[in-house]
Amino acid sequence: MAGQLLLHPFGRLAVTPAGGALHVVTVNRMRRLTYIRSTPGLAWPPATSTEISNEAVLPAADLALTANNSTLIVVALGPDLRLRRWTLQLDQTGAGWSAAAVLGSDTDTMHAQTKIAVHNLRADNIVVTAIGGDGLPRRLALSRQSNWTTTTVTRIDPAADVGRVHPLTDIATLPDGRVVLSTVGPGQTAAAYVDPATGAATPMI
C-alpha cells in the first residue's frame, strides 16, 4: 500500500478498535477520506485501502471515528465548513461505505480549525461536539433510528458560567460522557466540562 496510497500532507488521522480489528481513516492527496483496516497478525500497512467517498473534505480539518453497535461512523468537515458523516456496517459481509450525509442546516457551519468529539451515549446513539463558526460549541445527537443524521444542531453558550470558549480548543470526551474544552476568562485560560446529554457547562476545578 505504501507505493499506492498517497496522503495529503496536512491530512488528519482517526483510529478506533472494533470487531477485532483496527480501523483507520485519513485524507488522501485528492482530499478524499481513505479507510484502512488492520487485523492482528497481518503486516502493517495492509496491502489495500478504500476510498470512502469521491466527495472532498477540508484536508487539514479534524476527523472523528467511532464504532457503535457494529456501525463504524466517521464525521468530518466539508469544504463548505459543514459537518458530514459516513457509516459502514461491520456485521454485513461485503458492505460498503454509505454516501455522505450533511449534518444540520445550511447555516450550521463550523470553525475551520474545530476539533470534533464523538461520544457513544448508548447503543445506537452518539453525540457529536464541535466548535461553530462563532466560536461556540455545537452539539448534535445522532441515532440509528434517524439513520445517523440530524437537521438539529444545539448551540451551547457557557459564557455566563465559564467564559468564552477558546476557538482552537481541543475537545476531549471523558468516560462518563462529559466533554472537556478550553475557555478564556479575564486574563486567563481555563477549562470547562460540558454535559453532552444536556449541553450544560461548568468550570473545571
- Least Cα distance to 150 among 197, 104, 106, 118 occurs for 104
pLDDT digits (tens, 9 = 90+) for 159-171: 555 666 776 777 7
Q: Does some domain include residue 20?
A: yes
CATH number for 139: 2.120.10.70
How many domains does the structure of the chain reveal?
1
d(CA 100, CA 44): 28
Segments of the chain assigned E as strands: 13-18, 21-27, 32-38, 50-56, 63-68, 71-77, 83-89, 101-102, 116-122, 125-131, 137-143, 154-155, 164-165, 171-173, 179-185, 188-194, 201-203
Which pLDDT band, with edges at 50, 70 and 90, does 75 fall under? Answer: very high
Specify if 203 maps to a domain: no
Residue 200 within a domain: no
Q: Which of 75-84, 130-139, 162-171 has the highest mean pLDDT?
A: 75-84
Residue 129 domain-assigned? yes
Query: Tens of pLDDT along 50-62?
Result: 999 999 999 889 9
Residue 171 in any domain: the answer is no
Number of Cβ within a 10 Å radius of residue 168: 12
Q: Residue 153's domain spans which residues? A: 13-157
